Amino acid sequence: MSDLFFIRQKYLTYLSSLNHKIVPSAPLVPENDPTTLFSSSGMQSMIPYFFGEAHPEGKRVADSQKCFRADDIEEVGDNRHTTFFEMLGNWSFGDYFKKEQITFIFNFLIKELKIDPNKIYVSCFSGNKDLGIDRDDVAANVWQELFSSVGVSMKIVANPEEGLQDGRIFFYGEKKNWWSRSGIPANMPIGELGGPDSEVFYDFGEQTSDLAKKIHETEGPCHINCDCGRFLEIGNSVFMQYQKTNAGFEPLAQANIDFGGGLERILAAYQNQPDVFKTAAFWPLIEKIQSFTNLSYEDDANKKYFRIIADHMKAAVMLMSDGVFPSSKEQGYVLRRLLRRALRQAAYLEIKQETLVELVPVVIDIYTDFYPKLKDQEEKISQILQAEQLKFSRSLSKGLKEFERMASQQNELTAYLAFKLYESFGFPLELSLEEAQVKGLKIEKNIKELYLEQKQAHSNDSKSVLKNKFKSGLADQEEMSVKYHSVTHLLHAALRQVLGESVEQRGSNITAERLRFDFSYPKALTIEEKEQITNLINGWIKADFQVSKQTMPKSEALKSGAIALFVDKYPDIVNIYSIGKNPNGDKRGEDFISRELCSGPHVEHTGLIGEIVLAKEKAVADGIRRIYALQKSS
């Protein structure tokens, strides 16, 4: 049993002993949430319960959530940043609060994992008078008492910018110890949730590298949020108790807990290993990459390349296992960017691109003990990777030659040239930027913004999506988005009736303007099939069927005929949405049109939706089709 599995299982077992229901990880692509591309934290699926909606499993839940952060792609290369990671999480929805939460995490780290308490430091919120929120002395005092109980003195420091000062508990402002999905309070939109937090850090000891010395010379003495490498944040307890309103920050009706602890970072602390790539989470991949070349990971000149390949290939495998396929848009574009960046790093190490597919089973071996269905997808993932490798290798050498030619002519990378490389050779902007830095070229000011303008001008389809794709705030529950969510169920049912019950949903994306739906089917739909599907959906809408919700055990729900995308992601107690009665009955003679496990929201009856038309339909991967639906214009 690896230490990675041990820590994850130890955490879930421990929280279960504290009366938390253990729920499965949500997919890496959030279900029916158009405001974000990926699940970047464990709390995204928990938002309704902070407002008081009853969670099917009760007031205490915990999990290990798969996460992906695209913003960290360019950070990968140091000893701690990764794009894919697991977040150990526990939540209280109006049940326990600060004292209990801090005690739980203290006991898990110190008593369950037996981490040396002398290696632990913490931070708390220093308060904000303008917001009317006091300094969090409650949290600081709880930490102090707990460490005192194991013989460790925890001096409280109010001004950490002046250094450690023999302290262990430090007060920071909203830039460090306030948490919302939008960052600091000033950036939060109306309606967003947030609150002060308390972070836990592990001390790897004083750093003596040239980089650490330079940081201390330019930025001041070392403190727990210093970038020198001494301290690593391993957990964050958010006291989710406020909502931003027009009148300011108002307390929620219930005070909630939202804890997130990076599994890979806790593993690094457990092993006292400051390089996460030398832990069980990554080392098997590093060893495999070393076998492709005569170069060593221990050579500082090579570490960045090894780390990028290991991280990006792991993230790519996990994304593909959750139904993401390489493409030129949205999640697929990010996946393609990961793969192509990994392939380019392999070229720097003189590794043959086609050998990277051998990393797929290594990733699966790292995670198959907790995600056993990964093994079933190994062949398919390898095939997708091989196809992408072949596609990119054909254009890489030509693109590099063109890059060299352009560089020799003007000695500057501009947004126009970067976009030309993308259009002609499939070079992501980040790859062109890396090449420019390697060759010492100047880079046009604001190149990312100018590049995006170039790209938008050539893609009418992207314009409407990008307007809302990265907006902050709550998941989109506008009226039209809710209608389209209900349409996904009708569309799924219609596809299965017309094309056969082997059809399965493989993902969806909803905005207020349209619905995008991916499904398994080996060939393009005929005009007649599209007409039949459209007529079925609009017939059900016109019939104004009731949409009903039930809560029951998952096993009972599946026996009742309910279907689900990613069955394993649902907890033991689930919500089922059933739509109407089918006058003719389906092929099983059941009395519902659609019956699916789902978290909602939905319209109350189908007549509220309005007439729907099907737009373009196309292939997005081998055996996977994509279809668009939108409300018929009046």
Sequential DSSP letters for 293-310: SS--TTSHHHHHHHHHHH
**Whether residue 622 sits in one domain with residue 497:** yes
Total-model pTM:
0.72
**CATH number for the domain including 508?**
3.30.980.10
> Are residues 336 and 452 both part of a single domain?
yes
CB 213 within 8 A of CB 202: no
Whether residue 116 is contained in a domain is answered as: yes
Q: In this structure, is residue 474 part of a structural domain?
A: no
* Domain enclosing residue 604, as ranges: 479-631
Locate tokens 């939460």: which residue? 101
Task: Please report the DSSP string for 437-486 in residue order.
Answer: HHHT-EE-TTHHHHHHHHHHHT-HHHHHHHHHHT--SS----HHHHHHHH
485 in the same domain as 447:
no
**pLDDT digit string (tens) for 211-248?**
888 888 888 888 999 888 899 999 999 999 999 998 88
Weakest mean pLDDT among 195-209, 253-267, 481-495, 594-608: 594-608
Does 634 have pLDDT greater than 70? no
C-beta neighbour count of 440 within 10 angstroms = 8
Handedness of CA 276, 280, 285, 291 (dihedral sign): positive
Q: Are residues 402 and 514 in the same domain?
A: no
Same domain flag for 286 and 273 = no
Domain boundary among 420, 448, 469: 469
In a domain, 495, yes or no: yes
> Do 501 and 587 contact (CB within 8 A), yes or no?
yes
The answer to whether position 291 is within a domain reads yes
Residue with tokens 């055996």: 623
Estimate the crossing angle of helix 360-367 against helix 283-291, to 10 degrees: 160
User: Is the pLDDT at 201 greater than 90, yes or no?
Assistant: yes
| Inter-residue contact 600 to 610 (CB < 8 Å) | no
* Whether 303 and 430 share a structural domain: yes
Neighbours of 511 (CB within 10 A): 20
Q: Per the domain annotation, does 379 fall within a domain?
A: yes
One domain for residues 344 and 421: yes
Residue 141 corresponds to which tokens in the numbers above? Answer: 């005092």
Handedness of CA 245, 247, 253, 257 (dihedral sign): positive
pLDDT in tens, 563-600: 876 666 677 788 888 998 654 444 444 578 899 988 77
Amino acid, single-letter form, for residue 539: G
Where are any strands of DSSP class E within 557-621?
A: 573-579, 594-597, 612-621
Query: In CATH, what number is assigned to the domain containing residue 23?
Result: 3.30.930.10
What is residue 85's predicted lDDT score, i.e. its pLDDT? 93
125 and 234 inside one domain? yes
Question: pLDDT at position 69, please?
Answer: 87
User: Taking the CA of residue 114 as centre, how many other CA atoms within 13 Å lie in the half-sphere pointing to its CB?
Assistant: 1
Residue 464's pLDDT band, with cuts at 50, 70 and 90, is low
Residue 401 falls inside a structural domain: yes
Positive or negative: CA dihedral 571, 572, 574, 576: positive
Nearest to 58 by CA among 95, 105, 15, 9: 95
Tell me the two tokens of residue 64.
């290990």
Residue 487 has pLDDT above 90, yes or no: yes
* Same domain? 200 vs 293: no
Bridge-based pairing state of the strands 178-179 and 84-93: unpaired
List pLDDT tens digits, range 114-163.
999 999 999 999 999 988 899 999 999 999 999 999 999 889 999 888 88
Return the minimum-mean-pLDDT range out of 238-242, 259-263, 619-623. Answer: 619-623
- Can you list the pairs that 415-423 forms with residues at least 24 positions away whose Cβ atoms lie under 8 Å? 415/444, 415/447, 415/450, 415/451, 415/453, 415/454, 416/454, 418/447, 418/451, 419/451, 419/454, 419/455, 419/458, 422/455, 423/458
pLDDT band at 449 (very low <50, low <70, confident <90, very high): confident
| Cα–Cα distance list, 130 to 118, 170, 186 (Å) | 36, 21, 11
- Residue 414 in this model has a pLDDT that exceeds 50: yes
Per residue in 392-402, pLDDT tens?
Answer: 777 777 777 77
Say what the pLDDT of residue 91 is.
Answer: 96
- For 174, 421, 440, 442, 447, the CA distances from 411, given in Å and listed in that order, are 42, 16, 9, 7, 15
Q: How many domains is the chain built from?
A: 3
**499 and 521 in contact (C-beta within 8 Å)?**
yes
State the CB neighbour count (10 A cutoff) for residue 462: 18
Instruction: Mean pLDDT check: name the lowest of 48-62, 175-189, 383-397.
Output: 383-397
The single residue listed with the structure tokens 């099917």 is 56
Q: Among the three residues 445, 469, 493, which one is the final residue of a domain in this structure? A: 469
Mean pLDDT of the chain: 86
The whole-angstrom separation of Cα 507 and Cα 327 is: 15
Contact 600, 499 (CB under 8 A): no
Point out the domain boundary residue: 424, 444, 469: 469
Numbers of helices and strands, H then E, in the chain: 19, 19
pLDDT of residue 456: 67
| Residue 473 pLDDT level (bands cut at 50, 70, 90) | very low
Provide the sign of the torsion angle of the four alpha carbons 68, 70, 71, 77, taken in this order: positive
The closest of 58, 78, 52, 63 to 11, measured between CA atoms, is: 63
Tokens 């909602």, residue located: 600
| In-domain check, residue 576 | yes
Per DSSP, 591 falls in state S
- 398 and 344 share one domain: yes
Q: What is the rounded distance in angstroms from the CA atom of residue 109 to the CA atom of residue 232?
A: 14
User: Structure tokens of 75?
Assistant: 């950070």
Contacts for 98 with CB less than 8 Å, ≥ 6 apart:
138, 139, 142, 237, 239
Q: Give me the half-sphere count of Cα atoms (radius 13 Å) on the Cβ side of residue 246.
A: 0
- Our measurement of the distance from residue 552's CA atom to the centroid of its chain's CA atoms, rounded to an integer in Å, reads 28
42 part of a folded domain: yes
In a shared domain, residues 163 and 17:
yes
Residue 42 makes CB contacts below 8 A (sequence gap 6+) with 63, 65, 67, 87, 89, 260
Can you list the positions of beta strands (E) in 473-602?
A: 505-510, 515-520, 547-553, 573-579, 594-597
Treating both helix axes as pointing N-terminal to C-terminal, what angle do 415-425 and 429-439 enclose, rounded to 10 degrees? 120
Residue 381 near residue 375, CB atoms below 8 Å = no
> What is the pLDDT, as a whole number, of residue 53?
87
Nearest alpha-carbon partner for 279 in 240, 307, 251? 307
> Residues 97, 236: one domain?
yes
Structure tokens at 511: 């905005």
Q: For 265-314, how does the pLDDT look when each residue is reduced to its tens digit (9 = 90+)?
A: 999 999 999 999 999 999 999 999 999 998 999 988 889 999 999 999 99
Report how far residue 226's alpha carbon sits from residue 589's, in angstroms, rounded to the nearest whole number.
Answer: 65
Lookup: tokens for 237: 């307890």
Which residue is it, tokens 């020799």?
Answer: 408
